[in-house]
Chain A
Amino acid sequence: MIDIFTVIVPHALMALAIWRLLPRDDLDQDPHLPVKADMFRQKRPLKAERAHPKPARTRDA
């Protein structure tokens, strides 16, 4: 009985911790550190997009 209790409680808490970690963005990207990859690896526009750039959207008056 004691052994079952000692297995269940920490494992249940670990499972809950994993569940809470899954959706958190700061697991992989620390909010205090800059996102270097975004600075250097910005997505280049496609060739067709460069030839015919989309007009910027303007709000109707």
Chain B
Amino acid sequence: MLNLFLTAFVAGFLGAGMKRPFLFVLAYAYIDVVGPQKVTWGFLAHVPVSLIAFACAFIGWMVADNKDGARFSPRQFVLLALLIYCGITTKLADFPVEAAEKWSWVWKALIFALFLPLTLRTKLRIEALILVMVLSVGVIVIGGGIKTLASGGGGYGELKLLVNDNTGLYEGSIISAVAICIIPLALWLARYGTIFKPSWMVTLFAWGICFACILMPIGTQARTGLICVGVLGIMMLRSTKRRMTYISLVTIAGLVAMPLLPQSFTERMSTIGNHKADQSASTRLEVWKWTIDYAKTHPFGGGFDAFRQNEVVYETVKADYAGANNAVIAKDRIVEKARAYHSSYFEMLGEQGYPGLGLWLLLHLMGVLQMEVLRRRYAKNAPDGFGWVTPLADALQQAQIVYLIGGAFVGIAFQPFCYMLVGLQCGLSGYMGRIRRTVPPPFRVARKTSAPPVLEPAM
């Protein structure tokens, strides 16, 4: 039944694209996030739906879309440079087969992020893409949230999401970071949406999605998610008008939630401050040290999956206290091989070297600055009909900073969802640029003179 439902939905989505080609773009975004071909075992699992949707989106744009004012922004050139550079490192990779496998989906994410801003020509398109992204993530987090409420998640890596293959957005740490990213976007939709206009039902649903998103770090017991929640909480303080009310509400919510949290969650979160006792955190630190050393001899990176050659050795230290001055110290020597980076920054450094890391940082820092410029430009005295710009720039900036901070502890440097955020930012910036260019500055400004000079007629 689920197979039929999803197949009919995808077919209907693509069919709607025949009437309005931009819907192909939305269909691709949906397929990329949800992965209906992973959810089903039927027809969709055997058809390259993602490729079909992208081909339709591109052909639809080429043939039927208006391209007035479409231009590449500097960020898209950075993205293009990153794409070319990654292609070169894949050719020279230390593990060519594994690198080619990762490249097979990375290039699609980068190409889509390059293409997306060209299609986001209207406010409604920007809104529609955000809506599809939020609802697509909702497909994963609503169930995850309900299961967390019902069972507390069951421990690290135990929460069963819709698809149990631990890849893409269905991986616990990644979904806990991405779920927090979409909270500001869901709140923006509830206030400024036109597809679903603001009403109590829309607000209730948006709050429900946000609640499910906050439950994801608890359910997956991913420490990254908790850090992301903290970062978003601090950033929202900046944009809220009633700061004291906000602080009071957050404090009360935290105090109410604390006793309800599962014990396994609080135990795992307590290891954030004591990495020596935790194997996972110790592994990360050792892999990061290995990556820095590796980059000294391979400054241009080792290509995708270069981590496969690492071997780290470290000791975990545990203290069992039997009294105030009586503790048994237990040390374990751990040897691990081929451990992933668990950090987007070190992922970029190890795989793409300093040039790749530089391009990636430039891409994201430009985004943070671009959104800051937009939010300030329209913060006061926004023209009629543009009151939504500052809150959207704010939401996109918050999502990106959550991604950048969460990315310090998860390898999501090439996560397609995050490149959709980049595409959205470029699209918003390009759209506002076109709006500004349609209001040309006055050709000649009248001088302020007290009285025109009186010329005497020549006799």
Contact = CB atoms under 8 A, between A and B. Distances in A.
Interface of A: 2-11, 13-15, 17-18, 20-22, 24, 26-30, 32-34, 36-37
A19 to B, nearest CB: 8
B322 to A, nearest CB: 44
Most buried by B among A10, A26, A28: A10
A28 B20 contact: yes
Contacts of B123: 26, 30, 32
B139 A10 contact: yes
A5 B146 contact: yes
Contacts of A22: 16, 19-20
Contact of B162 (A6, A18, A21, A29): A6
Interface of B: 2, 5-6, 9, 12-13, 16, 19-20, 22-23, 26, 30, 39, 65-66, 68-69, 121-125, 128, 131-132, 135-136, 138-140, 142-144, 146-147, 150, 162, 195-196, 205, 385, 431, 434-435, 438
A21 B195 CA distance: 7
A13 B202 CA distance: 11
Among B125, B132, B142, B435, max chain A CB count under 10 A is at B142
Contact of A32 (B20, B39, B132, B385): B385
| Across the A-B interface, the 10 shortest Cβ-Cβ residue pairs | A6-B143, A30-B122, A10-B138, A6-B142, A10-B135, A36-B68, A10-B139, A26-B124, A2-B146, A27-B124
A5 B142 contact: yes
B434 A10 contact: no
Helix, strand, loop or mixed for chain A's interface? helix
Contacts of A11: 5-6, 9, 139
A21 B126 CA distance: 12
Contacts of A37: 66, 68
Contacts of B147: 2
A17 B135 contact: yes
Contact of A18 (B16, B140, B144, B150): B16
A18 B135 CA distance: 12
